[in-house]
Amino acid sequence: MKIVDLRTEYRKNPVGLDVRKPRFSWKLVSEEQNVQQTAYRIQVTTDGNSIWDTGKLESDTSIHVEYAGLDLAASTRYRVQVEVWDNKEKHATVQGSFETGLLNGTNFKAEWITHRFPAEETACPVFLKEFAVSKTVRTARIYATALGVYEIRLNGVKVGDTYFAPGWTNYRKRLQYQTYDTDGMLHEQNRLEIIVANGWYKGIFGFTCTPNHYGDRVAALAELHITYTDGTAEIISTDTSWKVATGSIRSSEIYMGETIDSCYPQPELEPVERFSFDNNRIIAQESEPVRITERLAAKALITTPAGEQVLDFEQILTGFVEMKVKGKVGQKITIRHAEVLDKEGNFYPDTLRQAISIDHFICNGEEQVFMPHFTFHGFRYICVEGLEDIRLENFTACVLHTNMAMTGSFTTSNALVNQLQSNIQWSQRGNFLDIPTDCPQRDERLGWTGDAQVFARTAAYNMDVALFFSKWLHDLASEQTPEYGVPHVVPNILGDQDGAAAWSDAAVIIPWVLYETYGDVRVLKEQYESMKGWVDYITLRCGRNGLWQSGYQYGDWLALDKEESADRTGATDQYLIANAYYAYSTRLLCQAAKVLGKKEDVQNYDQLYNHIKENFNREYITATGRMVSETQTACVLALYFDLADEQYRERILEALKTNIANHRNHLSTGFVGTPYLCHALTENQLHDLAGILLLKEDYPSWLYAVKKGATTIWERWNSILPNGDFDVSGMNSLNHYAYGSIGEWLYRRLAGINPLEPGYKKILIKPQFIAGITFVEAELDSVYGRIVSKWSCQNNMIRIEVEIPANTTAILELPERELPVEVGSGSYSYEYETETSLEQERFSTDSTLGEIMDEPVAVEMLNQYAPEMLNHPMIQFARQLSVSEVLGKAPEEMKDLFNMVIHTLNRSC
C-alpha cells in the first residue's frame, strides 16, 4: 500500500493559499483487494517547528481533513506529512507542502497605480520599476492583481505560465490576486514590468459591444517580497515611484483581437497616478489559472474558391495562434479566425457576429514568434493575410482553458459515439475559461447559469471542476439579491433581471453536484444561504395555488416542438418547467440541510416540497394522468424529477413513448429536457429506446452533428442544415456545451459508474447494454482514486472488468445477473455466456413500413395475424412512415405483433 496524490484544498503543493483552515486529501493505492484505511496521522511544520499533529487517529477519512492547528501566518511555507495505516497491517507515508499568500487583501503594502493616458488611447499601459539587489536571495514572491487583465515580466521574461489573470469575478465585490514564485529570476539590476489590458474589466463586452462595465481606467497592484539568505527582507511595491508608457501591444480586446507592433518606438516614460480601490474585496486565486494546455499543429493549407489562404487545425478550439515569421520591417500580417468554412469552402466568420476576432502583427525584420497576450478566439480555421510564404510548421494553435485535470475517459465500439465524447470534452475545454461560458467565439462569452447547470454533472465526470465551480459559485452568491434572485449570467453585466427557472437554479443544483462528486461539505456550507435564498425567492412569488406562474422564463430553450418564429422557448408550458425546477431545487435544498444538520430547515423545506409536488399534480396533470403539455420535456421532468403521483406515471410514460414515436424515434427537446431525456427512459424500463435516440444519425440527434463533421457540440441541433447551409437566426454557435449533457448518461448508464455515497466513497457499477455498442471502456479518477468499468458483449460472451479504489466499496449490478455483488477495493473480472447480440440489426421500429412489407416473411406474418391491416385503403400512404410512427397510437397487441415481425426478420437475416 502507498499514498499518492496528496492535495491541499484540491491542489498539489499550492503556493499563495489563503484558506485559513485548509483541508488535506490523499489516495491509497494497493494491489490487494478490500483495502480500507484504519487510521491516519497528519503533521504540519514550518521551519522545523510543529504547528499541528493529529496523532494517530482511528478513522477511514482520507478526503477533506480540516487543519486544526495554530493560526497560519502570511507568506509562509508549511510542510505536510501524512501517515496511513490500513486493514492489511500496512503503513505508508507521503509528504507535501503548501505556502500561504497574504491571507487578506488589506495586507497589501503596495499602492494602486494607474496612468494618465487620454480615453481614446487603445494601447496597453506598461507599468515599470527598476531596482537593484545587492544580497544573495533566498526566496522571491510576487503578489499581484489588476483591474483589467495583466502580465508580469521580470528582466524581460514573463513571470509564470498563466493567462487572463486576475480572472473574471464580480469586481464590485471580489477581485482575485495571484502569487508567483520568482526564485532564480532576480539579477543585480532588475526591471519589473506589469502590462495591463482592458479584459473583462473595461473592455468591449456584452451583446451591445460596449466598454467600461466596471470602470473606465485599468490599474495595477503588485509587490515583490524578497527574502535574503542573511535573514533580512525587502518589498518592492507599486507606488508613485513607478513609471508608465505604452508598448508594442497597440490594442487588445477579448472580442476584437490584438494588434502587436514590434516596430513601435519606445515612448517616453510618464509618471503614474494613484488609484483608489477597496482592498477588502481582494481575495487569493480560488481556482486553477488559465494556461496553454495543448498545442496543435496546422494540418492543411487551403486556397479557398474566393482566393483566401486558410489554415485548418482540424479541431474547433479556444485559444490563439502562435506564428513564427521573418518578415520585412513594417510588414503587417493579419490573422482572422472562424469556426467553419461555408459549403462552397470559403472562410465563414459569421458565427462570430460582432466579435471580429482579428489579430494584427507588424514585423521588425528579424526572426520573430508572435502570439497574442490578452485575447482569445474560438476557431478551427485561420485566414492569413499579408504573408506570401505560408508554411504549416510555422503556425501552432495554442489551446487555452482553466487548467483542470482530466478525470474521465469514455470509449466504445462505436466510432461516432467516441467522436461525440471528444466533442463534449472539447466544448468543455473551450468554454471553461475562468468561468463557464456559453460560447467562446462570438460577442457573448458570458457565464450563463442555465448552460452551466444542465452540464455540471457531465463536466464533473470529464474534469476536476471542484475549484472551478466553487470560485464561480462564490460570484453567483455575490451577485444574488432578494429583489432579483440569481442573475441569468455570472458575473452579471446584463443588469437587473428577475431570476428564471433552470437558469437561476444553478445556485442550488451545482453545489449539490459538487457535494455528490467530491464529498465536499464545505461547498454546501459556503453556498447554503445562496441555495436557500433562491428557493425563498421563488416562494415569495408564488400565487394562491402555491405555484410560481409569473415573470419571464426561458422555457425549454431552443426545443424543436415549437416554431422559432414565435419564440425560442419550446412548446412545453414555461411555468410547468418553472415549478418542476422549484420542486427539484427545494428537494435538493432539503437534502443539503440534512447534511448540514439544520433540522428546522429540513422540516420546513420537506413540507414545502410536498406542497409543491401536490400543487404541481393538481395544476399540470389531469385526474386521468394526462399532462397539460404532453411534450417530451414535460413528461421527462414529471418522471425524472419524481413529480407525478404514482397513479399517473404509467400514462405519462406512454405519452412520452408516443411523442417520441411520432417524431420517428427522435428527440425534440431543448436545453431543459435534453439532459434528462435518456435518464428518464432508462429509469422507466425504456433503456433500449434511450439507446435508439443516442445512435440516431439524422437530424435531430447528437450524432447528426458528428456526421456533419462537428468537433465540438453545437448550440442548435441544426446549426448546419443537411444541405450545408447555416442557421441564420443570428444565434448559431458551433461550440456550445449544453447538449453535451448526454455525457452524464454515457458514464452513468452505459459505463455504469455512479456514486452511492458522496465522493464515490461507495460506488454503484451498473453497466447497461444498448444495441449498436458492443463494448464500453470508461474510467473516472475520483477523490478516492481510479474507478474503471469495462465491458464487452461479443461472440456470445459477456466480459466485465471493474476496478475499485482503495478505501471504498462498491455494489456491482452485472448485466443478465440477478443478484448484485458487494465488493471492496481491487480489480475484478467476470466472464459468462450470453445469447444477447448487440450488433446493429437490419430492421427496427425506425424502418419504414414499406421496408418491412417488402419482406415476404413479414407479409406472411401480417396476413396471418392482422390481415385487415394490409387491406386498409391508407396502407400505401403509410408505407413511407416509420413503424414507430405507425404504432404511435396503435393498441398494445399491434405493437407486440410488429416487435415479433421485426425480431423474425432480423433472425432470418
Active site amino acids: 444, 715
Length of the chain: 909
Between the two ends of the chain, the Cα-to-Cα distance in Å is 53
What is the C-alpha separation between 244 and 266, in angstroms, rounded? Answer: 11
Positive/negative CA dihedral, 278, 284, 286, 292: positive
Q: Which of 17, 33, 171 is nearest to 98 (CA)?
A: 17
> Cβ(774)–Cβ(798) under 8 Å?
no
What is the C-alpha separation between 388 and 456, in angstroms, rounded? Answer: 46
What is the C-alpha separation between 635 and 647, in angstroms, rounded? Answer: 14
Cis before 289 (ω within 30): no
Q: How far is CA 333 from CA 343, 418, 816, in A?
A: 27, 38, 63
DSSP state of 352: G
Positive/negative CA dihedral, 579, 581, 585, 587: positive
Beta bridge partners of 403: none
Q: Which of 843, 850, 848 is nearest to 904 (CA)?
A: 843
Long-range contacts of 754-758 (CB under 8 A, 24+ apart): 755/516, 755/517, 756/811, 757/519, 758/515, 758/516, 758/517, 758/518, 758/519, 758/520
DSSP state of 405: P
Chain centroid, CA 277 distance in Å: 32
Q: How many Cβ atoms are within 10 Å of 443's Cβ, its own excluded?
A: 21
Q: Which of 96, 76, 83, 103 is nearest to 20 (CA)?
A: 103
Q: Given the DSSP bridges, would you call strands 175-181 and 395-402 parallel, antiparallel or unpaired? A: unpaired
What is the C-alpha separation between 821 and 453, in angstroms, rounded? Answer: 34
Long-range contacts of 417-422 (CB under 8 A, 24+ apart): 417/694, 417/695, 417/703, 417/746, 417/773, 419/706, 419/711, 420/702, 420/703, 420/706, 420/742, 421/743, 421/746, 422/711
DSSP state of 477: H
> Cβ(799)–Cβ(830) under 8 Å?
yes
DSSP symbols for 154-172: ETTEESSSEESBT----TT
Q: How many Cβ atoms are within 10 Å of 335's Cβ, its own excluded?
A: 26
DSSP symbols for 247-310: -SEEEEETTTEEEEETT---PPPEE-EE----GGGEEE--SPPEEEEEEEE--EEEE-TT--EE
